[in-house]
Structure 1
């Protein structure tokens, strides 16, 4: 480990990347069969269950939900420990609360994840919507395994509203009327409805989300 020679917000960075790190440990265990990686993932995940689930009211930040959902999903499948399933449900029940599900005040906002009462959660953009959608598909799978029909309904509704929002951000057809060279961006995904930037991360997150939707819901 090399300590950076510049200042940084460790707590905020961990909210983004701790779940990714745990997920990588579990996947490495699945590839190698070496339980030291599984044990490391369990120790770390248990810490973050306390930080991000038990102490959710103090530490909540939506960006940590999808990555921890994926790592919790893997741990639940591998260990069958109920604490991981319970954490998945609590995290995703909470994140749905910030999704725009009524298309107000503008229909373009329908499906995005943003709470105007909590701007500290970050601005809405495709780079946040897509991971939330992907995370919810993992949560849906667990709800389906548990025959939790109420959560299956709520998660599926949220997933497809989020997918609608992402599709609405795609450069396509008549929506490109104002562009000088529409052929250069056709099919690409805007960062936000009022921001035409095209980013690699938001593109890949959307591909991952849609690939998971196709897999989970057996869509052609």
Structure 2
């Protein structure tokens, strides 16, 4: 278990290399994002994803979202990108919006009980984006034990997750400090499942009519 201070350029390069190696070896990493800190694994390593859920004290009934490093990545992960999803991506990625879409059936991953969907987001944080562009899509959930507050710093993540994580990338305090807004675009109308970093009004300005979860 090693923590890297990503405010130092040399430590940042070393940390990104160590985190990429850890993910390739099936180990867990903690990374900063614009919303909260995340605990991540290679999205295509089912054992690592199970270890991620175990570290959080969570079961497969709460599947793990996936972070991507570019707009284009979404096209290879879904059956089809609905037009409204494309509009939301262009408006809010990278940023605090997660989209629930129908995943491509050919994908060889196991993120939990997803029922054929996947939650995708492109975070607005340079360290996260650098790591995602090295590793590829990563299964990432908030870096906290289930039922505890999401970590907004590497120290908070370390306090909760300790040596279940191989590498901690410290990118300073999370800029937003609240979880992403989640919008399901698999139905006839976009449905806001969780209100967070992006306001409901901002979603409506782009998507038009949306349903808000009660």
Instruction: Give the TM-score normalised by the residue count of structure 1.
Output: 0.30
Higher relative contact order (CA 8 A, sep 6+): 2
Name whichever structure is richer in helix by fraction.
1
Instruction: Give the TM-score normalised by the residue count of structure 2.
Output: 0.30
Name whichever structure is richer in strand by fraction.
2
